[in-house]
Amino acid sequence: MKLWGGRFTKPTNELVDEYTASIRFDQKLAKYDIQGSLAHVEMLAKCEIISESDAATIAEGLKAVAKKIASGEAELTEDNEDIHMNVEKLLIDEVGSVGGKLHTGRSRNDQVALDMRLYLREALVTISQQLVELQQALHTQAKANLDTVLPGYTHLQRAQPVLFAHHMMAYVFMFQRDVERLADSWKRVNQSPLGAGALAGTSFPIDRHYVAEKLNFDGICDNSLDAVSDRDFVVEFLSNSSLVTAHLSRLCEELVQWSSAEFNFVELDDAFCTGSSMMPQKKNPDVAELVRGKTGRVYGHLMGMLTTLKGLPLAYNKDMQEDKEGMFDTVETLKGALGLFAPMIETMEVKKDTMYQAVAKDYSNATDLADYLVGKDLPFREAHAVVGQVVLSCINENKYLLDLSLEEFQEFSSLIEEDIFDVLSPKAVVNARNVAGGTAKNRVEEQINKAEMLFEKNIGWIKEHAAKIEELSVVE
Ligand code: ARG
């Protein structure tokens, strides 16, 4: 008989059991479900709702169940629908009918909301940790490439030379926003819904704050209807994750381009590439492509969750069971991608010479010729037109600006003098961008130093919050 079978006169249709059960995927929540139950049962005894000795028996039983689930010894069944009822059933098998006292003053509705928050809390810490490792790999490449110049692009056309270190640091700051967004979401995730009951609260004199404290929550959800209906924290996580994957996919695209024969700017380590079953010469940037490809499923989960919540009346509705697979899959997808990315960036060979050749053979110093003329008091608009003429003539003659002689320059403007050759060299062009946040070497060094402070802050946050979670790991 089902745990809720009392008012039924027939068994459920087998297909209904299969269709409505969530145990296939929500067994991931077992550890958190039991952590929550341990806190709940301790509170029941403290509030004298059940006896100390019953509470102790139940707590021992829960720990035994946790061990059996972790070792695979416990059988989780669709008959028992979800992780909450499976644990309760296993507990009763373990300690007898006293196990039936655990669910006093509680509903699966507040219980599942609790489990989701406990699970996500841990994921926030793990993913932040991985993001910091990726930031550090990018930062290391930046430090090693403070003299490496490559073309910077707009519209994928060569625009102005930049330092490779500058390019790496752009990603460091993107991922910094991701870390900060995840950390900011913590305060909305870390509120305890337990005690909301099915929707209206409970008639037992429970102590919600005690449970919240036991589980290291920052506080309790203020409204019981909201507590069981709220999945905003899932949407927020999926949205924050979508930006992480957006950022990763942009870096992926650059790696794919840079490692092509056409660019030849980087060589990814063999350990992070795969071959072709047919073409023996191939070395494919599969990891970068697959991470780029997986952006789709993460955006999909965000759209799925938003759509599931649209128009749902208060309070709990079974629709909300659809909150789990997308969230779990997003966590796994990010963990997989980030775990590979940090070492892939760290081991990437940067081809400084090819990058330099590319800058030497383009017109990315044209702005600097115009700026030079502006320095000689020519209005920028006229300078722009003059340089346009110079570039056009160079294109026709298959030359670059630095191939011209002083006499040839002077045919376009008598303002040009011998010092122009220093102004137009790629390094000079880079170092001329000596504005805060610019690509001049000293400005990139400033970014590198600033990032070190941000990493310290990130690591501090991770340590502090990981400790809050580890304290609870009653269940191995
Ligand atoms: N398996 C359910 C879920 O994941 C748990 C809550 C079920 N509550 C209920 N009243 N049917 O959403």
Render pLDDT for 399-444 as a digit per residue (tens, 0 to 9): 999 999 999 999 999 999 999 999 999 999 999 999 999 999 999 9
Residue nearest to atom 11 of ligand 1 (CA): 318
What is the CA(218)–ligand 1 centre distance, in A? Answer: 25
What is the CA(321)–ligand 1 centre distance, in A? Answer: 6
What is the CA(229)–ligand 1 centre distance, in A? Answer: 11
Helices (H), 190-282: 208-214, 224-229, 232-258
Helix (H, G, I), strand (E, B) or coil at 310: coil
pLDDT score, position 475: 52
Cis omega (within 30 of 0) on the bond before 315? Answer: yes
Mean pLDDT calculated for residue range 182-203: 98
Mutation probe of ligand 1 site: the residue of 3, 25, 76, 316 with most atoms within 8 A of C-beta: 316
Q: Find out whether the beta carbon of 108 lies less than 6 Å from any atom of ligand 1.
A: yes
Cα(263)–Cα(265) distance, integer angstroms: 5
pLDDT score, position 437: 98
Output the six-digit token pair for 339.
């775990």
Q: Pick the closest to residue 194 from 264, 260, 116 (CA basis).
A: 116
Q: Find out whether the beta carbon of 109 lies less than 6 Å from any atom of ligand 1.
A: yes
What is the CA(143)–ligand 1 centre distance, in A? Answer: 51
Mutation probe of ligand 1 site: the residue of 2, 77, 318 with most atoms within 8 A of C-beta: 318
Mutation probe of ligand 1 site: the residue of 80, 112, 317 with most atoms within 8 A of C-beta: 112
What is the CA(318)–ligand 1 centre distance, in A? Answer: 6
Question: pLDDT class for 201, splitting at 50, 70, 90?
Answer: very high
What does pTM read for this prediction? 0.95
What pLDDT digit, counting tens, does each position of 4-37 carry?
888 899 998 989 999 999 999 999 999 999 999 9
What pLDDT digit, counting tens, does each position of 134-153 carry?
999 999 999 999 999 999 99
Q: How many CA atoms lie within 13 A of 436 on its CB side?
A: 1
Question: pLDDT class for 279, splitting at 50, 70, 90?
Answer: confident
465 among known catalytic residues:
no
103 among known catalytic residues:
no
Is the confidence at residue 233, as pLDDT, over 80? Answer: yes
Q: Which of 71, 97, 155, 405 is catalytic?
A: 155
Cα(61)–Cα(64) distance, integer angstroms: 5
Q: Which residues contact residue 89 at a Cβ distance below 8 angstroms, ignoring those fewer than 6 apart?
A: 3, 80
Is the confidence at residue 476, as pLDDT, over 60? Answer: no
Helix axes of 366-375 and 380-397: crossing angle, nearest 10 degrees: 140
Atom of ligand 1 nearest to the CA of 22: 1
Cα(181)–Cα(175) distance, integer angstroms: 10
Residue nearest to atom 2 of ligand 1 (CA): 321
Q: What are phi and psi of 82, to 5 degrees?
A: -135, 180
pLDDT score, position 217: 98
Q: Which of 51, 53, 260, 276 is catalytic?
A: 276
Q: Pick the closest to residue 241 from 341, 132, 127, 137 (CA basis).
A: 127
Mean pLDDT calculated for residue range 252-269: 97
Q: Are 185 and 464 in contact (CB under 8 A)?
A: no
pLDDT score, position 143: 98
Q: What are phi and psi of 415, to 5 degrees?
A: -75, -15
